[in-house]
A and B are shown apart, each in its own frame.
Chain A
């Protein structure tokens, strides 16, 4: 007997009890949706976390003097005391095909005072034009504008502004140890205030024009501490760092080029942990679905014991009966997959492109030091979609094995005589 005939019998059996078929298919379809959506949501959280952790300030790759980390000494500038051609170095970094932005930075520690208030903080010198292409924390100042070169201007975080009881236009006295051993101090005017939502960042970082901070820290114009790099995808940071390390080595410069995966290993571990949850989600969801399908198939095959007995009496082999029930299960899986896809994909597209704002529920939050947008954003993962489809198929078939074997073991004579 051809497989086509068994398929036909399988499909028609599914049509016999449309409500039961639809309910079972919904169970499996919702299982598919749950897996795809939950994994997509967890990937969304992970992607958001990595994106914010690397995109807000730091970038995906950092280039330093080889000795800069971990002390982050003022003296360990790229290229040593002689410094580098900053413009040429940035241009060389930007020449890498994976790099989408690069910006030089100078760092120092200092005290900021306004009236009676004083606060210690990290001083950060930036090229405003390059920096805004790289990082996001200065994208939308809550007040004012970015510092201009030669104007002795500073942008501070909202929390620091609160602590110093200062606002845009107010003057700050900034004191910082210089690279020549002196204690530099100067008067700066607050040009703008930023707010990231990360209190530690909003309280600590004061942003200056690169050249103005170099003057305060008595660093020559070619002396910078970092070139921060943004890549097209956070997960290609390692390869990009390796290429940049090769490209930048030479000419007296042997910088350390480190990807964020090395700077934030705890975040990589967290993402790996999330990945390992996928298996648990698959197992739990489809195991629950399997019992539901097995129950339905058991009921369906029990109701048809007499039909199986007739088939066996007419010469159908038990293995053919098993196959017939499994065909039916595959049919059920196909319907379930269609139902699941019809539910899943529109919601995935919606939650990916216009994720609902969940700020009303849990406000702003930080995870692993990264600011998380309060939204239910999901990520697409075609591999997971395919794996979930195969898992659904396997669930339906595995759930049908026991009912199929029972159907094949129906004793024809006893069943047909009604005992």
Chain B
């Protein structure tokens, strides 16, 4: 749920709650006040009627009032005394042909030694009308107030959140490899500015860490290559000198081969780190059939030595937007893998279905699953010379470009890469 929706809902539920209870309470308060007023008037009327009765002066007769009626009953002695009460009642109005609410005061008075029961009725029509009017006006006012508050809230918040949303968008598009200055828009909300400031400090730190790391990898590679170059050159010179014993020769060659392997390992790890750091940004449309054919040419010796039949049915002209060098590395590693784990007189099929290219090869079954296969330094026992970094490189490249890479075994080893359209 969006924060704006949540606050709006909270606001609405609370105001509606308060409003409903308030309005009920308000009604009763108002009603009570009006009743009190009417009672007071009825009381005044009673006093004037009693004084009239006592003076018995016809000139002092009760002035007619359209809102008022008076009923006088003579009480017989044995009638029970009615109580002195205020009550609400409905009386049918002949003129308007409808019931009208009245408030009644009944009391007993003495007149000419007779006891009479007098009931004064006062119409409540006007005051009821007033109450309804006040009610309607008040409700309208409150509703207008709530709606305008909501609208205003929405507008201000949306404006403020726009900046926040821009920040989010910028962060999700953030790529440490673009080397662009990371700037966020200023907001008039303190919290957002705080957030922006923290994010900017963070990205600056990430940037400098990244640059340091990059520099470190590069320097490390250079620094390691130097001593390796010295070792190699000295060993080569040693091998040239004719006066080595047979056993010394063997030792020197072993050391020489080991240092060569070390340098290959170093180069491959640097490559892997560079792919991970996305340091191959230049992309273009790479025609995969050309790349694959080139790699097959380069690997000709390997193909001939195992007498492997290649079936290649890639669509000519199928292109993928990526770095051409990485495309080469991707396919040379896949094809080399298919060759290395193949059998004599085996075959390799390179096929394409829509955006998916699959490379499948014959070869002995193994128990490794897809995850294990793509792990670094995970080697099958029969090829101790390989570094165990070919498939991890394939996986890394696919990760960089969001290609799906998959492995299955179904009589053949089956690697497939789904290229995004």
Bound pair: A and B?
Answer: no
A residues engaging B (CB < 8 A)? none
